[in-house]
Amino acid sequence: MGFLSNLINGISLGSIYAVIALGYTMVYGIAKMLNFAHGDVIMIGGYFVYLSSSKLLHLPPVLSVLIAMVACTILGITIEKIAYKPLRKATSLAVLITAIGVSYFLQNIALVIFGANPVTFTSVVSIPAIKLFDGQIVISGETSVAIVVSILVVIGLSLFIKKTKTGKAMLAVSEDKGAAQLMGINVNKTISITFAIGSALAAIAGALYCSAYPILQNTTGAMPGIKAFTAAVFGGIGSIPGAMIGGILIGVIEILGRAYISTQLADAIVFAVLILILMFKPTGILGKKMVEKV
Amino acid sequence: MLKKLKFKKPDTKNSFVTYGLLLVTFAIVKILFEAGKLSYMIKDLLVPLCVYAILAVSLNLTVGILGELSLGQAGFMCVGAYSGALFSNLLEEAIPQVLIRFPLAMIVGGICAAIFGILIGIPVLRLRGDYLAIVTLAFGEIIKNIFASVYLGLDANGFHVSMKTASDLNMDLDGEMLINGALGLNGTPRDSNFTIAFIVLFITTIVAYNFVNSRTGRAVMSIRDNRIASESVGINVTKYKLITFALTAFFAGVAGSLYSHNFSTLQASKFDYNLSILVLVFVVLGGIGSIRGSIVASILLTLIPELLRGSIGKYRMLIYAVILIVMMIVNNGDYFINLKEKISVKFSSKFKKTKKEVV
Amino acid sequence: MALLEVKNLGITFGGLKAVDNFNLTLEKGALYGLIGPNGAGKTTVFNLLTGVYKPTTGTFLLDGKELKGKKPADINKAGIARTFQNIRLFKNLSVLENVKVGLHNGMKYSTVAGIFRLPSFFKTEKKMDEKALELLKVFELDESADTLASNLPYGKQRKLEIARAIATNPKLLLLDEPAAGMNPNETNELMETIRFVRDHFDLTVLVIEHDMSLVSGICEEITVLNFGTELAKGKTDEVLKNPEVVKAYLGQ
C-alpha cells in the first residue's frame, strides 16, 4: 500500500512537472532556445497567488490563480520582448547566457521585494482528500487537482495546436521559421504567443507546486524548473505528449527514489536520469531527430 | 547568416601585459600586507579572490575559447576541494612539509576534477550547447548532494563510509571524522595563504594563454567559430572539446583544493549552482574570451560589493543580472551591432578627414 | 587505378531521393565539373563524399580505400578536402591562423608542449608560419595574413577557404561554387589559380559551378545532375550541347 501511495504522489508531482515542461518544450520547439528563466516564472506566479489569495487581497483561490496567470503572461511576453527578441539571430551561447541572466534577475528581484525568509503558502485547493482501502491510501485534494489539471492542460493545448490558426502557425514556425514567414505567418507574434502560453502555464504550475510544497522563497522555482526540463528532454523535446509522459516518469522516479533510496539523493537520482537519457537517447521517448543543414 | 559572438583574441603581447599587471598588483598587496595596512576583511578575502580569478580564467577556456557553456564549475571545484583536503588530511604526518604536500594536494584535486570532467564530457559534448549547460548544472547538483550525504571516518580499523548517519560508521571512539555529511569537511590543514594562491593564479594564467596560443588552442577556436568547417579540415571535434573541458575542470579542482585548505571546516552546500552562475557572471562581464578581463572582473566584482557592504550589498546580484543581460544584448543584438557599424563608419570617415586636414 | 571511385551512391531524406545512383571515376590529376540546376543534389554529393551525410546506398573509394561511413575529420585525413557554398571560415581567427588550422594534422606537437612552450612548440610553429605564408602567397593573401578572416572582402574569403583546404594536403579537392559572387575578371583569375594549384600541389579537383565560363574554361569532363540523378556525362563541350541538358537548364 505504501508503494501505491508513493506512486500516486509521484504521478501528482510529475503532473506538475508536466505542466512546467510544456512551457520548456514549446519555447524550445518554436524559438529554439532553452528558456532558463522559465522555472523562475513559476516562483513569480507562486508569489502572485500568495499575494492575492492570502497576503493582500484575500481573493478566492481560482481568481488568485487567474490573476497570477495574467501577471505571468505579461511577464513572459515582456521578458521575450526585452531580453530574447533582440538576440533572435545571435548564437545559442549568447541567448543561453541571457536567459541565465533573466533567471538570475527574477530570483534577485524577488529577493529584494520579498526578502530571504520563505513564506508559508496557503493551498489553493479546498477539495477534500479521497480515502481508499479503508483509509490505507489517502489522496490529498492537491494530488487529485494536480493530476486532473495537467490532463486538461495537455488535452487543451494539443487541441489548440491542431485546431486553431495560431496553433498551426506555431507548428509551422517550429518546422521552419523562414518558410513560415514567407507564408505570411507573423513569426514574432507567434513566438510571443508561445511565451505567453508557457508563462500562463507556469503560473498554474506555481500554484499547484506551492500548494503541494507550501514553502515559497526566491529560489523555489529553480529546482522544479530544471527537473521539468529533464522531463521535457526525457519525453522528447518539442513534443507535447512527450512532456506529459516525461513529467510523470520524472515525478515517479523522484518520489520513489526519495522513499526507497535516500531523501538526500532524490534530486541526484533525477539528474542522473537526465545524463543517462542524453547518453543513450538524446531525442527522448517521442522526440524527432534533427538534421543539420550544411 | 548567424551573427557570431565577439571573441577577444588573446595574443602574446597581450599576455605579457597581463603577467605584468598581476605581478605589480601582487607586489603592492604584499607591501601593504607587510606594512599592516590591510583590514582583516581584505586579508580574509585575498585567497578567495585568487580562487575566484582561477575559476573565471578556467571557465573562460570553455565559454570563450570553445564557445560552450558549462554550469558545473562549482561541482568540479567541490570535487577538487574534497579530494585535495582528504589527501592533505591523510598524509599530514607522512608529508610534513607544507610546500610539498600542498602543491600535491592541489594537483590531486585538479586531476580528480579533470577525471570527472572527462566522464561527464564524453556523453554530452557531442550534443548541442544547451544540453551541455543543463547537464553540467545537473552534474554539479549531483556532486553537491552526494558529498553532502557522505560520512567518512578513519580509525585503527581503517576507513568507515556511510551514506546515512555518522553513528552508522561504527568507529572507535578515538577515530577521526573526515567528512561529516552535511557538516562537511573536517580537520583540513590550513595550508593556503595569499602568496601560494597568487602563484597558482599566475600559473593558471600562463597555462591559459599558452593553451590558447597553441596548435590545440587554434583547433579549439576553430570548432567554436565553425564546427563543420573544423571537421572538414580534419579536426577531431570531440577530442578537442574534451581536452578543453578537462582543462577547465582541472583548474576548477585546483581552485577548490586551494579553497578548502583556507578553512578547517567546509560544507558541500557552498558549492551550489549560484557559485557557478557567479563565475559565469565574472567571465561575461570581464569579456567573453578575454583572460585578463576574467581576472579583473572577478576581483573587482568581489571587492566592490564587500567595500560598499550595506549600501548596495542587497542589490549586488540584481545589478549583476541587469548588467549581464544588457551586455549580452548590446554585444550580440542585431540592432546594436548595426548601430555600432554605422557609428564606426561615420567615425572613421570623420577621422580620416580631420587627419587629412592636419596633414 | 582511379583516384576516386564512386559507386551507386545515394541518399534518401524522409522518402525523397536527394541523390540516386551516382557514379563517378576520377583519374589522378583530373579537373572535373559537376553541374546542374538548383536543388539537383550537387552539394549533397559533396556532403556524402566528405562524410557530413551518411549514404543510404552505394559506396566510394579514394585510392582504393573505402571511405563510406567514416567521419568528416577522418575523410579529410584520408585525403579529401573541400570548400563550402556558403563560406565557412573561422571568423574570429586571422587569415594566417585559418590556414594554420588546416595544417593541424600535417605539423604536430602535443598539447603539453604547447602549454609548457617546449622546443617543439617553437620549431613547429615556425614551420607552420612559413608553410602557411607560402600557401597564402599563391592566393595573393599574404599581405592580409594578420587580418581577421571575417574582415576580408568576399572574393578573398573564397580564396582563403581554398588555401585552408589545400593546407590539409589533400589528394582530392572539392570546390563548391568557387566563383559565386565574383566578377568575370576575378573568375578568370580564379581559373588560373585552380589550374595552378592542381599542377603545383599534385591535386585532383572536383568542382561544382554555375558559372558556365568557368566550367567550360577549366573542366575537361563534367557530369550533369538533375533531380538527384545523372542526366549526362562526358567531355565538357559535348555535354553542354546535349539537348537534354539544355532543356534541363532552360526549363523548356
Domains observed in chain A: 2-129+140-280 (1.10.3470)
Question: For the segment B259-280, what is each residue's pLDDT rounded down to a tens digit?
Answer: 999 988 889 889 988 899 899 9
CB–CB contact A100 B277 (8 Å): yes
What is the mean pLDDT of the segment spanning C84-94? 94
- Whether residue C154 contacts residue C181, with contact meaning beta carbons closer than 8 Å, is answered with yes
Task: List, as one string, the DSSP characters of A6-62.
Answer: HHHHHHHHHHHHHHHHHHHHHHHHHH-S--TTHHHHHHHHHHHHHIIIIISS---HH
Chain A residues in contact with B335 by the CB 8 A cut-off are 86
- B233 vs A: CB within 8 A: no
CA B126 → CA A121, B110, B117, distances in Å? 42, 24, 14
What is the mean pLDDT of the segment spanning B40-67? 94
Kindly report the nearest CA distance between residue C79 and chain B, in angstroms.
10
* Whether residue B352 has pLDDT greater than 80: no
- B31 vs A: CB within 8 A: no
* Whether residue A3 has pLDDT greater than 50: yes
CA C104 → CA A48, A190, C42, C121, C164, distances in Å? 57, 45, 28, 13, 10
Neighbors of chain B with 3 or more C-beta pairs under 8 Å: A, C
Chain A residues in contact with C19 by the CB 8 A cut-off are none
Determine the angle formed by the axes of helices A187-212 and A141-163, rounding to 10 degrees: 170
Q: Specify the pLDDT at position C155.
A: 86
Of the ranges A263-277, B268-282, C45-59, which one carries the lowest mean pLDDT score? Answer: A263-277
Tell me the whole-structure pTM to 2 decimals: 0.89
| Radius of gyration of chain A, Cα coordinates, nearest whole angstrom | 19
Of the ranges A41-45, C114-118, C177-181, which one carries the lowest mean pLDDT score? Answer: C177-181
Q: Specify the pLDDT at position A88.
A: 86
Domains observed in chain C: 4-79+170-250 (3.40.50.300), 92-154 (no CATH)
Task: Give the mean pLDDT of chain C.
Answer: 91
Q: Specify the pLDDT at position A117.
A: 87
Q: Specify the pLDDT at position C180.
A: 86
- Whether residue A209 contacts residue A202, with contact meaning beta carbons closer than 8 Å, is answered with no
- C164 vs B: CB within 8 A: yes
- Tell me which amino acid residue B56 is: A
Greater model confidence, B230 or C243: B230
CB–CB contact A104 B145 (8 Å): no
CB–CB contact A108 B334 (8 Å): no
Report the residue from C50, C100, C150 with minimal CB separation from B232.
Answer: C50
Greater model confidence, B161 or B115: B115
Q: Specify the pLDDT at position B7.
A: 53
Q: What are phi and psi of A120, to 5 degrees?
A: -90, 125
- C162 vs B: CB within 8 A: no
**Confidence class for position B355, pLDDT limits 50, 70, 90:** very low
* End-to-end Cα spacing for chain B: 41
CB–CB contact C104 B234 (8 Å): yes
Of the ranges A65-79, A92-106, B323-337, which one carries the lowest mean pLDDT score? Answer: B323-337
Show me where the domains of chain B are located: 12-307, 317-359
With vertex at residue B37, the alpha carbon angle to CA B279 and CA B308, rounded to the nearest 5 degrees, is: 45
> Which of C106, C101, C116 lies closest to B237, judged by CA?
C101
* Whether residue A98 has pLDDT greater than 90: yes
Torsion of Cα atoms, C154 then C158 then C163 then C167, to 10°? 120
Residue in the structure block whose three cell numbers are 517521442: A286
Neighbors of chain A with 3 or more C-beta pairs under 8 Å: B, C
CA A226 → CA A17, A221, A250, B49, distances in Å? 10, 9, 11, 30
Report the residue from B1, B219, B228 with minimal CB separation from C101.
Answer: B219
Greater model confidence, C15 or B325: B325
Considering only alpha carbons, which residue of chain A is nearest residue C85?
A294
Report the residue from C82, C97, C116 with minimal CB separation from B218.
Answer: C97
Task: Give the mean pLDDT of chain A.
Answer: 87
- Whether residue A253 contacts residue A237, with contact meaning beta carbons closer than 8 Å, is answered with no
Of the ranges A11-25, B164-178, C193-207, which one carries the lowest mean pLDDT score? Answer: B164-178
CA B156 → CA A24, A109, A145, B60, C175, distances in Å? 53, 53, 56, 45, 72
Q: Specify the pLDDT at position A290.
A: 53
Size of interface A-C (CB pairs under 8 A): 5
Portion of chain C with pLDDT greater than 70, in percent = 99
* CATH class in words for B12-307: mainly alpha
Three cell numbers, residue A160 = 489548440
DSSP state of B166: S
Question: For the segment B182-218, what is each residue's pLDDT rounded down to a tens digit?
Answer: 888 887 888 889 999 999 999 999 999 999 999 999 9
Q: Specify the pLDDT at position A289.
A: 57
Residue in the structure block whose three cell numbers are 514567407: A182
Alpha carbons A214 and A221: distance in angstroms, whole number: 12
Alpha carbons A124 and A116: distance in angstroms, whole number: 23
Neighbors of chain C with 3 or more C-beta pairs under 8 Å: A, B
Q: Specify the pLDDT at position A286.
A: 79
* Whether residue A34 has pLDDT greater than 70: yes
* Whether residue C7 has pLDDT greater than 90: yes
- A88 vs B: CB within 8 A: yes
Report the residue from B211, B221, B234 with minimal CB separation from C93.
Answer: B221
* Whether residue A283 has pLDDT greater than 90: no
ipTM over 0.90: yes
With vertex at residue A198, the alpha carbon angle to CA A192 and CA A202, rounded to the nearest 5 degrees, is: 140
Portion of chain B with pLDDT greater than 90, in percent = 47
